[in-house]
Structure 1
Amino acid sequence: MYIQKHAIAGTLESSDAQVTVEPSDNGLEVMIESSVMNQYGRQIKAAVFETLARLGVEKGKIAVIDKGALDCTLKARVECAVFRSNDVSATNVPWGGAIK
C-alpha cells in the first residue's frame, strides 16, 4: 500500500497517539516523539514498523506523537492514517485484517 496524500489519525490526549502520514520519494522516514520514550521506545518503534510492514508501506513520511498509548492503539492509529491517505471508505476498510 502506498501513502498517496497527507492524512492524520488519533489525538494528543493522554493514552493516545497522533499519527501523520504523507507521501515521500525518499524511502521510509519515521519520526517518533513520546512522553514514555525512555521506558518503551523500542516497543513503540517495533509496533509502528511492524504495522507499516504488514500494510506494505515502503515510502513515506510518518510522524508519531505518542502520549502513552498501548500497542494496540499505536497499531490502529498507524493503520487508520494509512487507510485515510488512500481514501479507503468506511464500507471496505479491512480493519484488523492487516493487524494480527
Structure 2
Amino acid sequence: MKRFLLVLGLLAGAWGWYERQALADFPGILSAYSAKEYCSCRFVMGFDAPYCRGYVSQYLPLSRLDEDTPARVVTAVGLGVANTARWRGVREGCGLLP
C-alpha cells in the first residue's frame, strides 16, 4: 500500500510539473473571465446586476466583484489576482484592461 501511495504521489508531482504553466495561469483566468463576462452582461446585454452576478458565478468564488456603473468598468478579484474590464463602445463591447 505504501508503494502504491508513493507511486501515486510521484505521478501527481510529475503531472504538476508538466502542467506547471497552466497551473500558474489559472488564478488569472478566473478573475479575467469574470470581469469580462460581467461587463458584457451588464453593459452590452443590459441585464441587471443580480442576474449578471449569478451568470458569472463559478465553483471557485470571487473575493470581490466591483462595478463602477457611470464609468462602465468592472473589477473582479479571485485567487489573489485582480482583472478589470471596461465597456469600449457599441461595436467593440467589453475588453480587459492591460
Above 0.5 in TM-score? no
Question: Bigger radius of gyration, 1 or 2?
Answer: 2
**Where is the helix percentage greater, Structure 1 or Structure 2?**
2
TM-score normalised by the shorter chain: which range applies? under 0.3
> RCO higher in 1 or 2 (8 Å CA, sep ≥ 6)?
1
Q: TM-score if structure 2 supplies the norm length?
A: 0.26
Q: TM-score if structure 1 supplies the norm length?
A: 0.25
